[in-house]
Structure formats: structure tokens, C-alpha cells
Amino acid sequence: MTVRIGYAGGVFDLFHIGHLNILQQARSHCDYLVAGVLSDERCEADKGIRPVIPLSERLEIVGNVKCVDEALPEVFADKLDTWAQVGFNVYFKGDDWRGTAKGRDLERRFGEVGVEVVYFPYTMHTSSTVLRQALAVITGPAGRDATGAAAHGGR
């Protein structure tokens, strides 16, 4: 019997219930779950945003979620490079990719190396984008709190 090694990648910034849901769903579909935490540099290159929480802290948070067996920094732009490093055989992705050109390409490329792509729905009422927007309202566009002091402890 083949051990199902799953991989769920994400930024996991401002960790919330949607992150926990996807990790728990992923773990229920594999024997061993690796969570790939997108590096700050990859996040900026791929999404055009800098995470609020630094990579080392996001790795610590995700690595301590009980359904996660291992948390690793995700540093490659190409998911096949990540696969070559980690060696998973099932890849978990949000269902917003299903049926898109990027999703079909991902399925094709992973299919060529024997990796199954499994889609999960996102938790619609909570997202890091919504949390980031709420923080911007509270702290203002320059990252200052109501007193004018720099938010995020001076970061």
C-alpha cells in the first residue's frame, strides 16, 4: 500500500479558521501532511504583497497545528521544484483553481509525475485579504494606529 504524502501550500498569514479548515481537510485525505509556507519573497513575487507575519513565525504557527506533520518554507516558483524537494503524491489546492487554465496546467504537470490534485473549498467568510483590509482601516494606510504610532511593533 502506498503512503499518501500530502502537500498543502499557502501563505498562512494572519492565521485564521479558513487556514485550519484546509489543513484539517487535507490531513483527512493523506497519511502524512506537509504544509508549505510561502516565503516572504515568493509571496511578494507571486501575489504582490508582503506578509504581515514573518516566515519564521508562520512556520512556527503552522508547524504546531496538530494535523500538520511537517511545515517547510515554500521557496520555488515552480510547484514541480517543490515536489522534487518534498516528494508528495497528493497536492491540495483551493477550488478557485478548479477549471482554470492554471489549474488544468497544474493537474497536467503533476499528473505526468503521478501526483493527484485534490481541491477543497475555501472558508468564504474569513480570509487573510479581508483581515488585511480590516487592519488597514484600523491602522490607516501608512500602518499607523489611532495614536499615530507605527503599527506592528515598529516593523
pLDDT of 79-113, one tens digit each? 999 999 999 999 999 888 899 999 999 999 999 99
Distance of CA 62 to the CA centre of its chain: 10
Rounded CA-CA distance 22/93 in Å is: 9
User: What letter would DSSP give residue 149?
Assistant: P
Confirm if 36 and 7 have CB atoms less than 8 A apart: yes
In three-state secondary structure terms, 69 is: coil
CATH pick for 5-123 out of 3.30.565.10, 3.40.50.620, 3.40.50.2300, 3.40.50.300? 3.40.50.620
Backbone region of residue 88 per phi and psi (left: phi > 0; alpha: psi in -120 to 50; beta: other values): beta
Residue for grid cell 487554465? 101
Q: Report the percentage of the chain scoring pLDDT > 90.
A: 65
Confirm if 18 and 53 have CB atoms less than 8 A apart: no
Confirm if 132 and 14 have CB atoms less than 8 A apart: yes
How much is the pTM? 0.81
The confidence score (pLDDT) of residue 147 equals 41
The confidence score (pLDDT) of residue 136 equals 63
In sequence order, which residues have a C-beta less than 8 Å from that of residue 90 and are 6 or more positions away?
Answer: 4, 5, 6, 7, 29, 30, 115, 116, 117, 118
Residue 152 has pLDDT above 60, yes or no: no
Residue for grid cell 515598529? 154
The confidence score (pLDDT) of residue 94 equals 86
- Per-residue confidence at 149, pLDDT binned at 50, 70, 90? very low
Distance of CA 30 to the CA centre of its chain: 17
**Segments making up each domain of the chain, as ranges:** 5-123, 125-155
